[in-house]
Amino acid sequence: MKDMSSLGLRFERGKLFVLDQQLLPHKEVWIECKSPQEMVDLIRRLAVRGAPLIGVAAALELARYHERGASPAAVREAAGMLRAARPTAVNLMAAVDRMLGADDLARMAEKIFDEDVELCENMARHGELLIKDGDRILTHCNTGGLATVGIGTALGVIRKAFENGKRIHVYVDETRPLLQGARLTAWELGKLGIPFTLISDNMAGMLMAQKKIDIAFVGSDRIAANGDAANKIGTYSVAVLAHYHRVPFYVVAPYTTVDKNCPTGADIPIEERNADEVRGASGPRDCAVYNPAFDVTPRKLITALVLDTGLA
């Protein structure tokens, strides 16, 4: 397989490395993935995360495993494990299924990687037309170069507008409970020199009431056939607020996020994660906790989907 690299994933001379996103922004540590089980663990503990990225990472690991001499049966078993690592992002299942259907695993993994870069460019090209000079943009979670192998979905749109000379300002939801906004989006925007302000999730309503948000962009982990979209927990609240305050609310995603076999948002499996993520270091140890990692925004709250093929 050829060498490939992105902000969070690298394949170099036969070895696969991931940037441990749990340690960002304080430490930049690259971990070598040496087995499918290790990749499953990296995906589960969100060292590798973001819907498109986990699909590409699983594909690269399957190709690497095959290159190292794994039998077809072992590759199939690994594919089953990787497919089940996280339940909501359909990009993961789609990428693994493409690998299983391929004659040449290395070429297919390269194709999935290169395609993701191109899909990001296409979403950005369509989406940035929605942004006006001077816009103040709200975003949630992390949807950039750490969530894809390209420039990102929602964050790719924002980046393209900035690179095209639009004077924008981004409000970044910190994104409780795992702080993908505060830890990852702020890190990416800082590196790119894009002006931003970090807010806690419960401040978005007040900012909208003060007319400080012109437009909102988020990503998605799975879009149902009817247009309902699952994304990081808290996205639905942003959509409701945006609707009330008449702020345009866009969901940016590649075709690999669309699940035609899933009729509505109610059919999207929602991952529930460990209670300690919500408790944090200082929360009570003994109370009941509910920790769904994603919520579903109904299509009627979405102004439009920004897909790689254009607006829908």
Catalytic-labelled residue, pool 221, 228, 295, 308:
221
Q: Between residues 66 and 91, which has the closer beta carbon with respect to ligand MRU?
A: 91
Q: Between residues 32 and 272, which has the closer beta carbon with respect to ligand MRU?
A: 272
Q: Between residues 24 and 247, which has the closer beta carbon with respect to ligand MRU?
A: 24
Cβ(159)–Cβ(237) under 8 Å?
no
Interaction between residue 160 and ligand MRU (CB under 6 A): no
What type of residue is 87? P
Report the site for ligand MRU in 261-300 (rule: CB under 6 A): 293
Interaction between residue 55 and ligand MRU (CB under 6 A): no
DSSP 248-294: -EEEE--GGGEETT--SGGGS---B--HHHHHTTTS-SSS----BSE
What type of residue is 99? M
Interaction between residue 232 and ligand MRU (CB under 6 A): yes
Active-site residue 221, yes or no?
A: yes
What type of residue is 39? M
Output phi, psi for 170, to 5 deg. -105, 130
Q: Between residues 91 and 110, which has the closer beta carbon with respect to ligand MRU?
A: 91
Applying CB under 6 A, among 51, 56, 59, 296 the residue interacting with ligand MRU is 51
Q: Distance between terminal CA atoms of the chain?
A: 36
Give the list of residues 6+ apart from residue 121 with CB closer than 8 angstroms, or none: 150, 151, 156
Q: Binders of ligand MRU: how many residues, by CB under 6 A?
A: 18
Least Cβ distance, residue 22 to ligand MRU (angstroms): 10
Applying CB under 6 A, among 221, 259, 295, 308 the residue interacting with ligand MRU is 221
Q: How many CB atoms lie within 10 A of CB 4?
A: 18
d(CA 35, CA 208): 47
Give contact residues for ligand MRU (rule: CB under 6 A).
Answer: 46, 49-52, 89, 141, 143, 147-148, 153, 180, 219-221, 231-232, 293
Active site members = 221
